[in-house]
Amino acid sequence: MILALVAVPVLVPLLAAGLSLIVSASTDRQRTVTLTALALVLADAVALLVVVERDGTVVVAAGDWAPPVGIVLVADLLATMLLALAVLVALAVLLFAVGQDNADRGPGITVPYHPSYLVLVAGIALAFLAGDLFNLFVAFEMLLSASYVLITLDAGPGRVRAGMTYVITSLTSSLLFITALGLVYSAAGTVNLADLAVQAERLPPGLRTALSLMLLVVFGIKAAVVPLHFWLPDSYPTAPAPITAVFAALLTKVGVYAMVRTESLVFPREGAWWVATVLAVATMLVGILGAVAQDDINRLLSFTLVGHVGFMIFGLALSDVAGLTGTILYILHHITVQATLFLVAGLIVNAAGTAELSRMERGEGARRVHPLTGLLFLIGALSMAGVPPLSGFIAKFALLRAAAAHGGVAAWLLAGAGLVTSILTLYAMVRVWRGAFAPGQGDPLPLRGRPGMMLTMSAAVAMGLTGLGLAVAAGPLADLGERAATELVEPGGYRTAVLTGEREGR
C-alpha cells in the first residue's frame, strides 16, 4: 500500500488525461475528471509526506527490476515536500482558470487544455520522484510537450512566436541533456542517481567537473539562471494568467530541484562553490535590474522571477546544511508567492484593461481592481521583498544566517547581492502598487453576480493563505527543511534505501 503511494502522483494524472480526452465532448465532465484527479493526487502526496517524515525514504522499483538496473521512483523528504505543495498549487490554479473560464472558451480550447494540464502535473511529479537521470529526462520532455500546448492555446502570432522561443530553448536543453546522459553512462556505467553517486567518486576529477558543469547548464536553462534566462521574460508574459502562474510557480523550481539533487548527491563539494556563487549573484542582480526597468506588469514579474531564482542557487553555492535549508525554504516560499502574484496580475489586467503600469497610473484603465485583489497583491509583494514576518523574510533570513555562519568572500558576496535584490524587489513592487492600485476611474467591480468570479477569487485567496500558512508554520517547516538538507549533504541514507531497499527510520 505504501509503495502505491509513490506511483499515484504519476499514474493518476496520466490515466485521467486519457479519460479527459474520452469525455471531451462535455466540458463539465472534463472539469470533473481533472479536479477529481488532482484532488486524489493531493491527498496521496500529503499521505506520502507523512509516511516519509515518519518512516524514512520510500523506494519503488518498477517491474521488480532491482536497482540500479530498472526504473526507480524515490520519495524522500525533499521530494515529497515539493510534490505536495506543487499539486496544491496546480489544483488552486486550475480552479482559478475554471472560474475565469480560460480553460473553456470553445471546443478547440477545451479538448487539449485539461489533458495537457494533467500531463504537466504528471511530469512535475515524475521529476520530483525520479531516481535516475533518464526518467528525469522523460519528465522534462513531458513538461515540454504539455507546456507548449498550454502556452499556445488560443494563440495569436505574438504568443506563437513566444512559444517557439520557449520550445527551441527547451529542445536545445533536451539535446544537451541527452548528450550528458550518454557521457555519464559511458563514464560511469549507470544513470541511477544513487549508484552514480558511488561510481562518480571513482572518476578522474576533471571528468567529474565536466559532467557536473554539463548538467548544471542543462538544469540552469530549465531554471532560468543567468545568462541562460533570456527565454523566460519573452515567453511567460504572453500566456493567460493561470498558465503563466503555474509555469512560474513550478517549472523553474523543477529545474532548481534537479540542480540541487544532482549537485549535492552525485557531485558533492566541501566549502563554497564558486561557479554557483557567480551564477547566483548574477541571477539575482540581472533579474531584478531587468524587473525595475519594465512597464508591463507581467514582464516585471517575470524578471523578478528570474532574480529570485538566484536566492535558490545562493544556498546551493554554500554547499552546507544551513545553506541548503535556506534554499529549500525559499523554494517553498517562492512556489506559493509567485503563483499568487501572477494570478493577481491576471485580475489586475482584466480589471484595468491594460498590462502597462504607466497607463494604469494615468487612470487610463477601464476600472479599478477590487480591494481584495489589492490585499492579495500586498501580502505577496511584501513577502517577495522579504518583509517580516512573512515567508519570504523567513527564507531570506535563513540564507543570510547561513552566509554569516559560513563566512568567506563568496558568502559575503551572496549576502550582499541578496540584500540589494530584496531592496530593489520592494521598489519594483511599489511601482506595481502605484500603477495598479492608485485611484482610477470607475468603481470596483462587485464579486457577486459575476459568473465564476467567486471561484476565481477563492482560488487566489487560497494561494495567499497558503503563503501566510508557511510563515505561521515557520518552526516546523524549518525543522523539515533542515532534515531534508541534512539528507542532501549526508546522502548515505538515500543510497542505502535505493540500492539495498533498507529504510532508515526517523
pLDDT digits (tens, 9 = 90+) for 75-115: 999 999 999 999 999 999 999 988 876 444 444 455 688 99
- In this predicted structure, what is the pLDDT of residue 502? 60
Confidence of residue 34 (pLDDT cuts 50, 70, 90): very high
Per the CB < 8 A criterion, the answer to whether 433 and 345 are in contact is: no
Model pLDDT for residues 437-493, shown as the tens digit of each residue:
765 544 454 444 455 677 788 888 888 898 899 999 989 999 999 999 999 998 888
Domain boundaries, the chain: 1-268, 269-495
- In this predicted structure, what is the pLDDT of residue 125? 96
Per the CB < 8 A criterion, the answer to whether 419 and 399 are in contact is: no
AA letter at 52: V
Residue 287 in this model has a pLDDT that exceeds 90: yes
Least-confidence region, from 68-72, 74-78, 413-417, 421-425: 68-72
Least-confidence region, from 83-92, 210-219, 224-233, 350-359: 350-359
Residue 307 in this model has a pLDDT that exceeds 50: yes
Model pLDDT for residues 132-171, shown as the tens digit of each residue:
999 999 999 999 889 888 887 766 677 777 778 888 888 8
Per the CB < 8 A criterion, the answer to whether 99 and 456 are in contact is: yes
Per the CB < 8 A criterion, the answer to whether 309 and 448 are in contact is: no
Residue 221 in this model has a pLDDT that exceeds 80: yes
Kindly report the number of other CB atoms within 10 A of residue 233's CB atom: 24
Residue 71 in this model has a pLDDT that exceeds 80: yes
Residue 51 in this model has a pLDDT that exceeds 90: yes
- In this predicted structure, what is the pLDDT of residue 299? 92
Percentage with pLDDT > 70 across the chain: 91
Which of 282, 318, 288, 325 has its CA nearest to residue 409? 318
Question: How far from chain centre, in Å, is Cα 46?
Answer: 18
- In this predicted structure, what is the pLDDT of residue 304? 94
Which of 378, 352, 389, 346 has its CA nearest to residue 367? 352
Confidence of residue 505 (pLDDT cuts 50, 70, 90): very low
- In this predicted structure, what is the pLDDT of residue 442? 45
Residue 43 in this model has a pLDDT that exceeds 80: yes
Residue 374 in this model has a pLDDT that exceeds 90: no
Per the CB < 8 A criterion, the answer to whether 304 and 232 are in contact is: no
Range 10-36 average pLDDT: 90
Per the CB < 8 A criterion, the answer to whether 104 and 97 are in contact is: no
Bridge partners, 75 (sequence order): 58
Range 268-276 average pLDDT: 88
Confidence of residue 61 (pLDDT cuts 50, 70, 90): confident
Bridge partners, 132 (sequence order): 192
Q: CA end-to-end span of the chain, whole Å?
A: 20
Give the cell for residue 102: 480560460
Mean pLDDT score of the chain:
87
AA letter at 198: V
Per the CB < 8 A criterion, the answer to whether 421 and 285 are in contact is: yes
Which helix or strand (DSSP H or E) is residue 60 part of? strand 58-61
Question: How far is the C-alpha of 306 from the C-alpha of 429, rounded, in Å?
Answer: 15
Range 242-258 average pLDDT: 92
Model-level pTM?
Answer: 0.92
Which of 55, 43, 56 has its CA nearest to residue 5? 43
Percentage with pLDDT > 90 across the chain: 54
Least-confidence region, from 30-34, 232-236, 385-389: 232-236
